[in-house]
Each structure stands twice: as structure tokens, then as C-alpha cells.
Amino acid sequence: MNNQIVTMRFLRITTLFALLALSASATFADVAEGEKLFNANCTSCHALNEKVVGPALKGVNEKYDEAWLLKWIKNSQALVKSGDAKAVKVYNEYNQSVMTS
């Protein structure tokens, strides 16, 4: 192979690894930020495997779709007041406790 082809392949591979490293560091930063938010705002009422004030969170993403969860997390009361059946059920199941956002 000539040097130009080898150099181009090296640059492509190096660029690929650099992009992977950047995306991994962004993901780790997102995870760390999410953990910080969860610890600050959620742990007083939620645990992973057991009910506390609110429901256990393990498997919640399988029980509800992402769009619904985002609405619930951002403003559970608006969802309840809209008459959303799932929201009303959760609200009543947990003694009409209001989830803060």
C-alpha cells in the first residue's frame, strides 16, 4: 500500500475513536448529572425495588411509555386533572400524594 492510503486509513480510524471517546464522555456526564438530579429530587419518595411514598422505580419504563413518563414527571397534577386514566390510578393508589417536579 502506498503511504497516502495508509495515512488516510489511520486518520479515519483515529477520527472514529475520537468520536467514540467524545460520545462516551458525554454519556458519562449525562449519567452523572442524572444521578445528581435523582438524588436531589427523587430519593426522598422513591427507591428502586420498594415502595416508599411513591412507587418503586424498577421496571417503570416497561409499565409506562417514555412520553407518558415525561409528562408525569414534569407535571403529574396536570396529567391527573386532564383525566388521564393511568395518572388518576397512580394518584389514587398513592393516597393522592402529589409528586413534586
Quick check: 99 and 55 in contact, CB under 8 A?
no
State whether residue 24 is helix, strand or coil.
Answer: helix
Residues 60 and 92 in one domain: yes
CA distance 19 to 90: 42
Residues 50 and 23 in one domain: no
> 54 near 45, Cβ under 8 Å?
yes
Instruction: Look up the domain containing 69 and give its range.
Output: 46-101
Chain segment 50-101, per-residue pLDDT in tens: 999 989 988 898 999 999 999 998 999 999 999 999 999 999 999 999 988 7
Give pTM, 2 decimals. 0.66
- Model confidence pLDDT, tens digit, residues 27-57: 667 778 888 888 888 888 888 899 999 899 8
58 and 22 in one domain?
Answer: no
Domain co-membership, 23 together with 72: no
Following CA atoms 69, 75, 78, 84 in sequence, which dihedral angle do they give, to the nearest 10 degrees?
10
Are 50 and 98 found together in one domain?
yes
CB 72 within 8 A of CB 79: yes
Within this chain, do residues 31 and 55 fall inside the same structural domain, yes or no? no
